[in-house]
A = this chain, B = another copy of it.
Amino acid sequence: MQTIGVIGGGQLARMMIGPAIELGLELKVLAESSGSAARDRATTVGDFRDLDTVLQFARDVDVITFDHEHVPTAIILALEKAGVAVRPGSEALTVAQDKIVMRQILEDLGHPLPVWGVAETTADVEGFLAANGGRIIAKAPRGGYDGKGVAVVTESVQVQEWLALGPVLMEEMVDFSRELAQLVARRPNGDTAMWPVVETTQANGVCTEVTLPAPTGDDRIIEVAAELGRQIANDLNVTGVLAVELFETPDGRLLVNELAMRPHNSGHVTIEGSVTSQFEQHLRAICDMPLGATDSRHPWAVMVNVFGAMDLGRYGRLAESSDVKLHNYGKEPRAGRKVGHVTATGSDVADTTSRARAVAEIFHADI
């Protein structure tokens, strides 16, 4: 039996459990705490920054993968040196973990990017501000997620604390018409599979809603995004699922915003929306199995995140929403925390969207 070790016990690891069972794979999780979302398969509770803990956990598994991108590079390299199959591997993860490295490599490969630069001093920030209309985005190169480590900057003093820690990535404020995400899966043997590009909606840097496929009167966007995703997965030698977050500009160009080398919030919609979900596909890819079909099961699928609390006590109010599917991450309530998502499917995008939103609203709680 093939045994998979997931570092990190969040909802991504949690949503791998069901597909692993159906595929007949054994899943083990190295979780941060006993109450993690993936606690059902948390065979180890410990610190993913501690080499001994991680090596011990890896001893009983055939392949290591990740729930998040915060595992230190030194640990990933040590795993590989110990002969452990790590997927995605250090070569790819190094790019995903540092936004400056990622920008540089994507630029060298010729992929379309927002205008960007690196600041080491406030003078660098001032220069970039002056060249880009006085309003830019600054990003800490490492450790950010869900809007953390990202700021809109109009004065260099705003970046001063980050600069004390090291270089800061600067980007133009892209005048985008909307945000998209291209999901790709890639096997070690180089086979790739792309889902149709999705449209994503963000609030304060956090994904709130995803539509599969991205509504468009122009199928060119679907093809361009798929090809861009495929190329990046190949160029960076990614194994597993890769999410390429994209800006679509008013003149119809696609620019690469961020990369995530793991199942991603923009792909939750594939659980009901696609013949193969991103979670099943990630497992197939890292185990070097043939990839599953990425065709859609429905004309439209819409996912809406649930923040704060997703309590079972409200399930009784779902009688009128029998076709919307719930995904409860089993997390303690906390203001603004992603605690679950819901997905609706249907033949009309407006109707599908409103059904998904209505169910998410049932769980809305100000905490």
Q: Which residues of A contact B (CB under 8 A)?
A: 1-2, 14-15, 17-19, 21-25, 40-41, 193, 272, 275-276, 289-293, 295, 297-298, 310, 312, 315-316, 318-319, 321-323, 325-330, 340, 345
Question: This chain: how many copies in the complex?
Answer: 2
Bound-state Cα–Cα, A275 to B312, Å: 20
Contact B322–A292 (Cβ < 8 Å)? yes
Residues of B within 8 A of A328 (CB): 22-24
Q: What's the Cα separation between A274 and B246 when bound, in Å?
A: 33
- If A1-B312, A23-B328, A312-B24 touch, does A295 touch B318 (CB 8 Å cutoff)? no
Give the chain B neighbours of A293 by CB distance below 8 A.
322-323
Q: A14 to B292, alpha carbons, bound, how many Å?
A: 22
In the complex, chain B residues whose CB is within 8 Å of the CB of A345: 275, 297
Additional 11 contacts, C-beta under 8 A, given A24-B326, A275-B322, A289-B316:
A2-B312, A17-B40, A22-B327, A22-B328, A24-B312, A275-B345, A289-B315, A290-B315, A290-B321, A293-B323, A297-B297
The one of B290, B298, B318, B319 in contact with A297, judged by C-beta atoms closer than 8 angstroms, is B298
Is there an interface contact between B23 and A323, defined as CB atoms closer than 8 Å?
no
Neighbouring B residues of A310 by C-beta, 8 Å: 24
Bound Cα distance A7, B177 (Å)? 54
User: How distant is the Cα of A327 from the Cα of B291 in the complex, in angstroms?
Assistant: 15
Nearest 3 interchain pairs by C-beta? A18-B18, A24-B328, A293-B323
